[in-house]
Structure 1
Amino acid sequence: MSNCEHDYEHDHECEESTVVLTDEDGNEHEFELLTILEVDNTNYAVLLPLEIPEGEDGEDFEEEAIILRINQDEEGNDVLQEIEDDAEWDKVAAEYDKLAEEDEE
């Protein structure tokens, strides 16, 4: 995984929160904010893409949630960052899976 931070906009007023991430090439991508998880006193955003990535067939595209750590920059603004540590990723993914299983019941 790359070590890149993403600027994002989050509309707190909406029932379905939309997050816009800007990638390293300046392209904007929209995601639905499914939930914010707290694991070991750190917050993580669970996001689902709202658009099918280029090159993907709409019928075959399998939506997968992505999880990003919520950090703060020097000015106190929230910044989303990829999780690089495998152990941290495994712990957060397990917590999300547990939450998803509870929602299915």
Structure 2
Amino acid sequence: MEMDNIVSLTDENGNEVRFEFLDLVEYDGGEYVVLLPEGDDSGEVVILKLIETGDEETYAGVEDEEILHEVFQRFKEKYKDQFDFVDE
């Protein structure tokens, strides 16, 4: 099994959480990762902002709903032929 697209992150409680890396989306001068929680069948993705400090990369939550919406719209447009998106 190919595991190059699996990202392990530590949550606020110190637990390791694994995600499938789906894409890196550029928006408004920032870069955002689109992740799918491993083992989660809901199909909901997680969008985090990529922060580079020196030669380290970290991720931060995004609380701005407009940014989340725009990043997800770009992701949906790019992958409209590969995924079945459900609008709610």
Return the TM-score normalized by structure 1. 0.66
| Deviation (angstroms), 1:100 | 2.2
Q: Alpha carbons of 1:25 and 1:64: their partners in 2 closer, same or farther (altered >3 Å)? A: same
- Please tell me whether the aligned partners of residues 70 and 78 of structure 1 are also in contact (alpha carbons under 8 angstroms): yes
- Give 1:83's aligned residue: 62
Q: Which amino acid aligns with 2:22?
A: L
| Deviation (angstroms), 1:48 | 0.8
User: Which protein, 1 or 2, shows the higher relative CO under an 8 Å CA cutoff with sep ≥ 6?
Assistant: 1
| Deviation (angstroms), 1:49 | 1.2
> Which structure has the highest strand share of the two?
2
Render the CA deviation track for 1:58-84: whole Å, top value 9, x for unaligned.
xxx4121111110123x4411111111
Give structure 2 stretches of 5+ with no counterpart: 84-88
Q: Larger Cα Rg: Structure 1 or Structure 2?
A: 1
How many residues are treated as equivalent by the alignment?
82
Displacement over 4 Å in runs of 4+: none
